[in-house]
Copies of this chain bind each other. A is one copy, B any other.
Amino acid sequence: MNAFPEHKTSAHLTPSKAAMVPFVSVENMMRLVHHIGMQDTLKGIAAYIEDDFKRWESFDKTPRLGSHTEDGVMELMPTSDGLDYGFKYVNCHPKNIKSGLQTVVGFGLLANVDTGYPVLLTEMTLLTALRTAATSAVMAKMLAPKGARVMAMIGNGAQSEFQAVALQAIVGIEEVRLFDIDPTATEKAARNLAGTGLKVTCCTSAQDAIQGAHIITTCTADKQNATVLSDNMVGAGVHINAIGGDCPGKTELAEAILHRANIFVEYPPQTRIEGEIQQLAEDHPVTELWQVMTGQAEGRTSQDQITLFDSVGFAIEDFSALRFIRDRIVGSDFFEALDLLADPDDPRDLFGMVQRSHP
């Protein structure tokens, strides 16, 4: 008995259809992004993220499971909506950059809850960059002061251009003001953003970068309690998108800013451990973003307010991105079939399958 008997008739080593898992390589992910377009990819993922945040209560949620060392962390981020199950493996090793490696690499899986069989395996280094930027944009669209057109981008590493383009595509940002302690990073970001239609201004200090900015995005990589923004730098009426503070012992904002801001988070049990609010008392009031999206909580209530998205990255955002990719590769050639699952004709005959495969 097999669900796909037509695939079992050829050589004994030919895997069945159920055994083959669609796999999106880095090359195919890049081809797919070019096919859809960078802005439309970010908009598409953002739409899936909004959908999933609006049905937040239907998800099986758990803080990510991290294996921490002095230099970094390896994490598993699973979630399920009862129909699909998804997880991402991702690391974060800030020191990697010194040896020419990425700080963050990852891959993800989507499986069918009904059978447990994987239905998509994909690179998630690029996809994480895309979904992180899309998430920022969704939240900024909801929380930023009306008419926000200028964003300061502090930290010009691998995530920075994705943030700028996502906020351009989804929030309507027209100018991005770049600053990084390493001027070559700023030059790189400015070069990459040259053709996007954004006005790009390179700045020589964080103070300079936030001049006139309605949205301040911090995305620096050092694993320490840093002060990328000090209290006196942040005026009224801005939205802060704090991305870099995302694991224990790694924060970017002066604590005083947190006390002046209305703080919005993805999933409190995770953010209290990993986010900027690890600096605060455990019962410091925060608002869950899904509740703002569903109208159960207030977002920005005045133009003068400081809103803060204390972004750490949550499994549901990866789940949204995985669903987006799964839906977009149907009928395309942006994937290959990977022989990942053993699937003998008789499911009880795994041993026989091995025996019969003898060369």
A positions within 8 Å CB-CB of B:
1-3, 13, 15, 18-19, 23, 25-27, 29-31, 33-34, 38, 60, 62, 65, 67, 69, 71-74, 76, 78, 80, 82, 85, 87, 89, 91-93, 96-97, 99-103, 105, 107, 109, 111, 113-118, 123, 125-126, 129, 156-162, 185, 188-189, 191-192, 338-344, 346-355, 357-359
Contact = CB atoms under 8 A, between A and B. Distances in A.
Contacts of A97: 347-348
A225 to B, nearest CB: 21
19 contacts: A15-B25, A30-B354, A31-B357, A38-B354, A67-B113, A71-B114, A91-B111, A92-B116, A93-B116, A96-B116, A102-B350, A105-B342, A126-B342, A129-B351, A158-B349, A161-B352, A189-B351, A191-B352, A192-B355
Contacts of A3: 99-101
Contacts of A99: 1, 3, 115
Contacts of A160: 351
Number of copies: 2
A129 B96 contact: no
Contacts of A33: 354
A354 B161 CA distance: 11
Nearest to A126: B342
A348 B185 contact: yes
Contacts of A347: 96-97, 100-103, 158
A188 B72 contact: no
Contacts of A339: 25-27, 123
A188 to B, nearest CB: 6
Contacts of A89: 87, 109, 111, 118
> Which of A67, A91, A159 has the largest number of chain B CB atoms within 10 A?
A67
A185 B69 CA distance: 47
> Which of A30, A123, A346 has the largest number of chain B CB atoms within 10 A?
A30
Contacts of A26: 15, 19, 339-343
Given A185-B348, A349-B192, A105 B117 contact: yes
